[in-house]
Structures are given as structure tokens and as C-alpha cells.
């Protein structure tokens, strides 16, 4: 593969930096802005619009460079730890820079400045003390040729055996690395907050030390416990279903959402999953409706809300249900997929009459694009808080409040 010596430029969305060589843009992983490095081109050609490369030699390191917290995720390694060579404060500065750049490019005028309204990316409780490690309560892998937990190399089908999983909780790491499975099997490990032991799924089926749990009543759910506003809430969640992976993320996000909803009497929770936000909102006694397209998650939400009979769970497509009419609400909470809510869904929000929107976003560019659309629809961005809920990766979570009128 071709090797090139170059000076690294600014960070970009996706966990890489931008560099230029002979007029060509190169997206460089495992580097930091300002560094002089030798890169190995991993994806490129004479006709390519841009190239991808890994920094394999560091000639002039950045002061923000640290020994990698997960060398297996370094050049040529597995995906999922692309910022492991960056000091934690610099990781958050990196993510703030990406947010600002996304807003400047896609959001248009925001509060008259055209910039992201936050001035920091906040750490989850405990991350500074742990060095940003040991936070993942859910980890996945594939069984390699020797049956050991493995991951695919970044942008590759090549399988690499894992020697460590430092992002996982200690219990999840031990369960993942200590098992042996049939080659090619998909492994999921769940270290739920309300359980006294980890759960393992293999190809989606419960697993025990003796193999697949074939009992008709094999446990398929886990219990999660989340504290919001000083009150503890218990959730039943499908073991293989969606749940925030950072052990502190459910509480951090739910507290933020409830605070931003404020005193709104009637709230609509879209893309609600198993009810992470719905339950603490329902516990305040307000009118609340939850909308979720996944049948299992909607079923779990009904179970989680059983003590609040006034809470309503609607299963179905968010956009179609909004267009058909879900009733009138004071506030809407939406936590869409990584691609964002999009114009068609946001335009359908008019049926709710809501003056307040609380938007939970896991992708800066998708959020910025939706900011521009919401402005057209009369919703101004009031404030936003960014959370570093995925240390050692480029991902960042943002909670934003929009007001109309």
C-alpha cells in the first residue's frame, strides 16, 4: 500500500482528520490535528474523489496524543475505538469541533451566529475517574475460527481475535473474552443494571455455560434501573433490544429530557423504545403517549408503564401516525435513529400543536439538518447540551430544545 508523509488538518465527522496531498483530500484515522505523520492509504485510486488512510508513523505528535487505551483498535485494527489515542479532554474538544462544523455547514443561522449553541461536551458521571473506560454495558462480537470473541477490522470482512475489550464493564469483558462459540456465531453480552449477572445471547438466543438455553421459559429480558430526579424507575427490556450502552447514559439523558420538558402537561414521546423517557414523564402525573415501531419494544413499554394506566403506548410508524393524528400535546420528545427525523416527519409535527420540542440526537450532521428544517417550520433552537456518552469513539449525543412562537 502507498505511504505518504503529510501534515494533518482539522477534525471531521466520522472519527478522522482531513489532510491534503498533491491537491487530493485524504481522510486520516488515528491522527490528531497538526501532527506530521506517515499514512498508509487504505482506500483510494486515481479516480477516487478522496482517499482514506491510517496514520502509521507519528513524526511530530500532538500534545493531546496519549498511548492508545485500546491498541487493537489502532491502524489496521478493529473498529469502535478510533479516538483511543486522544486524551479525554481533547476527545471532547474534538466532538465539539465536529458539532460546530456541522451546524455551520447545515443548520444555517442559529441564534444569529450560525454556530452550535453549546460551549462544551460534558462527561458522563465517573468517566474522568475511569479514564473513559469500562462504561459499555452491551458489547457484541463474532466468533472467530478458534471460537473466541472477535471483531471485524475497520471497513473490512477480516476477523481479528480480541485480547481485550477495555470499553466494556469488567463483567461484560470477562463474559465476552472467556467464552468459546461456534465459528461465525454472533455474540451479544448484556450487563444490565438491575441484574446480578451478565446475560449472553448467541445468534439471538439465550446462552448458558452449557450452550443454548432451550427451555421454553429461557430468560429473554433484563431489568434496568434508572434514577431520574431522585426517583428510581425499573424497566423490563429485551436482552437483544435497544438500550443506551453507557452505564450512566439512561439516567443522564432521562434527567435532561424531563428537565427540558418542564411543566408541559401533555407530552408525546416519539421513537420511544421501551419507555426510557416515557416512564419518568408518566411518573410526574402528566398526560403521556409513547410511539414506537418495534413490536417488542412497544410491548415492553406497556409492561414498564403498567403502574401508570393513563399513559398510552401506540405501536406503529411515527411519520404515518403523526399524519393520521395522535392528538394535541404541549411538548414532543423525539429520539430518532441516526439518520435523524427528516423533513416529512418534522412537517407532520404540526398535527400535535406542540410549542416545545425536545430532540435527542446521536448524529451531529443529522441534527444540524433538522435544525434548519425546524426553523423553516417556526421552531427556533433555544439551547443544546452535548454529552460524551461514547468515550474513545467519535460519537456524541446531543439534547436540544426548540420553541415555536
CATH, residue 333: 3.40.50.150
Query: pTM, whole model, 2 decimals?
Result: 0.95
Question: Among 65-79, 101-115, 117-131, 342-356, whose mean pLDDT is lowest?
Answer: 101-115
So what's the pLDDT on residue 109?
67
Q: What are 39-46's contacts with CB under 8 Å, separation 24+?
A: 39/3, 39/4, 39/5, 39/6, 40/1, 40/2, 40/3, 40/75, 41/1, 41/2, 41/3, 41/4, 42/1, 42/155, 43/155, 44/2
pLDDT tens sequence across 63-77: 999 999 999 999 999
Residue 225 has pLDDT above 70, yes or no: yes
Looking at the fold, whether 124 and 155 belong to one and the same domain comes out as no
Report the C-alpha gap between 270 and 303 in whole angstroms: 18
Geometric angle at alpha carbon 286, from 283 and 287, rounded to 5°: 115
In a domain, 114, yes or no: yes
Average pLDDT over residues 83-107: 97
For the chain, state the CA radius of gyration.
Answer: 22
362 a catalytic residue: yes
B/e letters for 107-119, b = 16+ CB within 10 Å, e = fewer, are beebeeeebbbbe
In a domain, 36, yes or no: yes
> Could you write out the DSSP letters of every residue in 122-186?
EEPTTHHHHTT-S-BSEEEEEE-TTSSEEEEBTTS--EEE-S--TTB-HHHHHHHHH----TT-E
Domain count, the chain: 3
Largest CA distance in the chain: 65
In a domain, 359, yes or no: yes
So what's the pLDDT on residue 208?
86
Looking at the fold, whether 197 and 173 belong to one and the same domain comes out as yes
Catalytically annotated residue among 264, 282, 362, 371? 362
pLDDT tens sequence across 270-325: 999 999 999 999 999 999 999 999 999 999 999 999 999 999 999 999 999 999 99
CB 368 within 8 A of CB 103: yes
Q: First vs last Cα of the chain: how many Å apart?
A: 57
In a domain, 82, yes or no: no
Looking at the fold, whether 262 and 300 belong to one and the same domain comes out as yes
In a domain, 75, yes or no: no
C-alpha separations of 323 from 6, 152, 326 in Å = 52, 41, 8
So what's the pLDDT on residue 46?
80
DSSP β-bridge partners for residue 39: 4, 55
Residue 113 has pLDDT above 70, yes or no: no
Domain around 350? 90-128+225-234+246-404
In a domain, 83, yes or no: no
Looking at the fold, whether 122 and 140 belong to one and the same domain comes out as no
Amino acid at each position: 500500500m502507498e505511504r505518504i508523509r503529510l501534515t494533518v488538518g482539522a477534525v471531521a465527522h466520522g472519527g478522522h482528520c482531513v489532510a491534503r496531498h498533491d491537491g487530493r483530500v485524504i481522510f486520516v484515522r488515528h491522527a490528531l490535528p497538526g501532527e506530521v505523520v506517515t499514512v498508509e492509504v487504505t482506500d483510494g485510486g486515481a479516480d477516487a474523489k478522496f482517499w482514506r488512510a491510517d496514520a502509521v508513523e507519528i513524526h511530530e505528535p500532538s500534545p493531546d496524543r496519549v498511548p492508545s487505551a485500546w491498541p487493537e483498535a489502532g491502524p489496521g485494527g478493529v473498529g469502535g475505538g478510533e479516538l483511543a489515542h486522544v486524551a479525554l479532554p481533547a476527545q471532547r474538544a474534538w466532538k465539539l469541533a465536529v458539532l460546530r462544523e456541522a451546524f455551520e455547514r447545515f443548520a444555517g443561522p442559529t441564534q444569529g451566529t450560525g454556530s452550535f449553541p453549546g460551549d462544551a461536551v460534558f462527561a458522563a458521571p465517573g468517566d474522568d475517574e475511569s479514564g473513559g473506560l469500562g462504561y459499555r454495558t452491551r458489547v457484541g462480537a463474532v466468533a472467530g475460527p478458534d471460537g473466541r470473541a472477535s471483531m471485524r477490522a475497520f471497513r473490512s470482512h477480516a476477523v481479528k481475535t480480541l485480547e481485550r475489550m477495555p470499553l466494556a464493564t469488567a463483567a461484560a469483558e470477562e463474559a465476552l473474552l472467556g467464552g468459546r462459540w461456534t465459528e461465525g456465531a454472533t455474540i451479544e453480552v448484556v450487563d444490565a443494571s438491575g441484574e446480578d449477572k451478565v446475560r449472553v445471547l448467541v445468534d439471538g438466543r439465550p446462552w448458558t455455560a452449557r450452550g443454548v438455553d432451550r427451555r421454553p421459559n429461557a430468560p429473554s429480558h433484563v431489568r434496568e434501573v434508572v434514577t431520574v430526579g431522585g426517583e428510581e424507575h425499573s424497566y423490563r427490556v429485551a436482552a437483544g433490544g435497544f438500550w443506551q450502552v453507557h452505564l450512566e447514559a439512561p439516567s443522564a439523558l432521562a434527567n435532561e429530557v424531563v428537565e427540558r420538558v418542564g411543566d408541559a402537561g401533555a407530552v408525546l414521546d416519539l421513537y420511544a423504545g421501551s419507555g426510557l423517557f416515557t416512564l419518568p414523564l408518566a411518573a410526574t402525573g402528566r398526560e403521556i403517549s409513547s410511539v414506537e415501531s418495534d413490536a417488542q419494544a412497544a410491548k415492553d413499554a406497556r409492561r414498564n408503564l403498567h403502574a401508570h394506566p393513563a399513559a398510552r403506548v401506540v405501536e406503529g410508524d411515527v411519520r404515518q401516525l403523526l399524519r393520521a393524528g395522535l392528538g394535541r400535546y404541549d411538548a414532543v420528545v423525539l429520539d430518532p435513529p441516526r439518520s435523524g427525523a427528516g423533513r416529512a416527519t418534522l412537517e407532520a409535527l404540526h398535527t400535535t400543536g406542540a410549542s416545545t420540542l425536545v430532540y435527542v440526537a446521536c448524529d451531529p450532521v443529522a441534527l444540524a439538518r433538522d435544525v434548519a428544517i425546524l426553523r423553516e417550520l417556526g421552531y427556533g433552537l433555544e439551547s443544546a447540551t452535548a454529552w460524551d456518552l461514547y468515550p474513545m469513539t467519535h460519537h456524541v449525543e446531543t439534547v436540544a430544545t426548540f420553541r415555536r412562537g
